[in-house]
Structure 1
Amino acid sequence: MKRVKGKEWDVAESTLISKINQERRLMYYFEALNGMQTFIRFSPEWFTYIQKNQEIIRGWLQYNIIIYLQKRNPSVPGIADKLYPPKERKLEKVKKYWKLLLAIYPICEIYGNVQLSEDNISIDHFVPWSYVAHDEFWNLHPTTRSINSSKSNSLPDWNIYFPQLAKLEFLSYETMWKYDALHGEFEKCATEHLNDNSVRRKIYREGQDFTQFCGALEDILQPVYQSARNCGFENWIYKKVKDDNESNNILL
């Protein structure tokens, strides 16, 4: 404020109010300045402006909140999506892809070795969505609805489950390059679930053997996984008690 500088703030409240209220084009003016009992009077022009432009102002506030939080949490991805999450995550194309693969080969999910079917399939984020805040294809794989629910927002034990994930994803990769119909479904998934072309080329380029594919997948997934661990996401192990029934699996 041009009229109030330095020690001029250290004056009686009535004097300070008088000086502040001499400023032109303020958003509001003081009626009384007394801590929590302070009263202000909005300028009619500003009141009208805020009413007419509240969506723009709200967007500006949300943007600055996101910038503030991201600067102070540099290792946490997707803060904007976490503050304003989508009402639903659209994974139908991914589910359709895996259902088509099921029609070609029988598949067991990676946590409880439960055989999948069209009726029990559910798409899981290996590193939880609540951390990554995205639906990238390389972090998605099929499991059952009940196991997915049990896993919730936990991190599956890397040493136990990443090797199983790599085997399943390599089966998907090999089959995708072998069958045109499955490759077509992969391309549909890629339009929404592979948003980085360099990652797509690294993991899904044609002609890789298992070692190459597994190494590429690990290079992309492991840093994200470790970052989630560093942020406090809990390690999770799913132990199967009996072999013949998914309902006999328990969470440790």
Structure 2
Amino acid sequence: MNLPSSSQLNTRTLARIFDNKSESYKLFWFKAILKNVGEGRAEMSYGDLIDQMIIDAWYMVSEFHLNLGPADTLEKIVLRLAEISGLTPSEKPEKIKDYLAECNDAEILRMKKTLTLNVPYRLQAPFMPEANTAFWKQSPDATVDYINRKTGMIYTIYRARGLESTIRIHDEWVDYISENYGILLGWTDFNLINYLQGRNPTVPGIASKLYPPQVRKLNNVIKYWRGISEIHPIIDIYDGEVLGSREITIDHFVPWSYVASDELWNLIPTSRSINSSKSNNLPRWDAYFEKLCRAEYDAYKLTQENKNIKGLFERCARENLNSEEVRQRLYRPGLDRTEFSGQLSEIMMPVYESARNMGFGEWEFR
């Protein structure tokens, strides 16, 4: 991807800052710089940047269970924060920021300092092609002195104690980032998506998992199942009770925080209380998959037989059935119950198993 050119700056070198990334830190560090400049700051402390990195990683790790890398310190911080803070996986960024500002947990502080050992210096390595192995083994003060004397760098560094050290973005880079903020953020996210996909090769929808969970498209799905409930009783697959039309909420059988989509084959009606109880867990396959098949097949049959339900289904399909292959396999006319269940199992089982391998826990209604 070509970045916007500049007559003053070496943007070709900027485009190479993510070329050598065995870990996630450069991506999150630069993204934190972009956000600070976007909010009008040219000077920022290590502590502020690390806190922004934690906030940006929070949803990926806590909500979506993404792996940032082997022994990744940023991931460890998020997991520790989730353990001690009481913050929810979908917590607002402001609340995470406020908690971090007051957090004195020794383990988190130690790991935050670890993150500052290399990335503030290594991010700008492409601007220093002359730097060799010996250069990176010298003292931090010597490295900083060299960076601060070299022209063309993105920022200078003012060392203090630990997280109190600061960086100062050069004015010409502030202008460039401000003018091209959206492009640079999109470019960074593009590189982050590619990195995360490599670390999480079986996980779908990586691009949807960089930011807090979005509003889900379930209105037509609710109308579809409510329409069905008016002509055919809907039995909740989790507690066996009949669901009234106004009781219906929609559950993602494989949690939304894993699939990051609202595909019809993964959606099933349940009550609000059960939906809340299940949360981001996987229903135990042996206990519930057959019941899921029964409910979805009954709905499928009504779609074939009832004109009104067919119309509701088609409205759903426009938003909630985005794979033509799945539509042909699962919703084509003429399937019997065994064929339908087999197709649904083949579609869902790999997704279910992948979610379980990523650490999503199993759940059963009690």
Name the TM-score class by shorter chain. 0.7 to 0.9
Paired residues of 1:50 and 1:57 also in contact (CA < 8 A): yes
Is this contact kept in 2: 1:4–1:19, CA < 8 A? no
Q: From the superposition, tell whether residues 41 and 84 of structure 1 become closer, same or farther in structure 2 (CA, over 3 Å).
A: closer
Please identify the structure whose Cα radius of gyration is greater: 1
Range that drifts further, 53-62 or 140-149? 53-62
- Decide which of 181, 184, 191 is 1:64's aligned counterpart: 191
Aligned amino acid, residue 230 of structure 2: A
Is it true that 1:102 corresponds to 2:229 in the alignment? yes
Residue 241 of structure 2 corresponds to residue 114 of structure 1 = yes
1:188 aligns with 2:188: no
Q: Write the distance in 2 (CA, Å) between the matches of 1:4 and 1:20.
A: 15
**Quick one: percent identity of the two aligned structures?**
46
Q: Contact conserved, 1:136 with 1:193, CA < 8 A, in 2?
A: yes
Match of 2:302 among 171, 175, 191: 175
Contact 2:217–2:319 at 8 Å: present in 1 too?
no
1:172: Cα distance to partner? 0.4
CA RMSD of aligned residues (A): 2.7
Displacement of 1:81: 1.9
* AA at the equivalent of 1:179: N
- Structure 1 or 2: more strand by fraction: 1
CA distance in 2, matches of 1:193, 1:160: 26
- State the number of aligned residues: 237
- Following superposition, the deviation at residue 38 of structure 1 comes to 7.1
Change (3 A) 1:85 1:18: closer
Partner of residue 248, structure 1: none
| Among candidates 222, 230, 243, match of residue 357 of structure 2 | 230
Structure 2: unaligned runs, 5 residues or longer: 1-126
Answer yes or no: is 1:149 the counterpart of 2:279. Answer: no
Q: Provide the residue aligned with 1:82 in structure 2.
A: 209
Q: Match for residue 265 of structure 2?
A: 138
Asked if 1:55 is matched to 2:182, the reply is yes
Question: What is the TM-score of this pair, normalised by structure 1?
Answer: 0.82
**Cα gap change, 1:209/1:21 in structure 2, threshold over 3 Å: closer, same or farther?**
same
Give me the TM-score of the superposition, normalised by structure 2: 0.58
Shift of 1:76: 2.3
Q: Deviations 1:208-251 (Å, cap 9, x if unpaired)?
A: 1111111111110111111112222222221xxxxxxxxxxxx2
* Cα distance, 1:102–1:54 mapped onto 2, change above 3 Å: same
Closer, same or farther in 2 for the Cα pair 1:132/1:16, shift >3 Å? closer
1:202 aligns with 2:329: yes
1:119-155 deviations in whole A, cap 9, x for unaligned?
2111111111111111100000111111111111111
Which residue among 181, 186, 200 is the counterpart of 1:73? Answer: 200
Distance 1:103 1:64, change over 3 A: same
- CA offsets 1:29-66 (integer angstroms, 9 cap, x no match): 57x77896877654332221112222222222222222
User: Is the contact made by 2:264 and 2:316 (CA closer than 8 Å) also made in structure 1?
Assistant: yes
Residue 246 of structure 2 aligns to a residue in which SS? Answer: coil
SS at match of 1:233: coil
Which amino acid is 1:147 matched to?
I
5+ residue gaps, structure 1, are: 239-250
Look up the equivalent residue of 1:194 and give its one-letter code.
L
| Counterpart residue number, 1:46 | 173
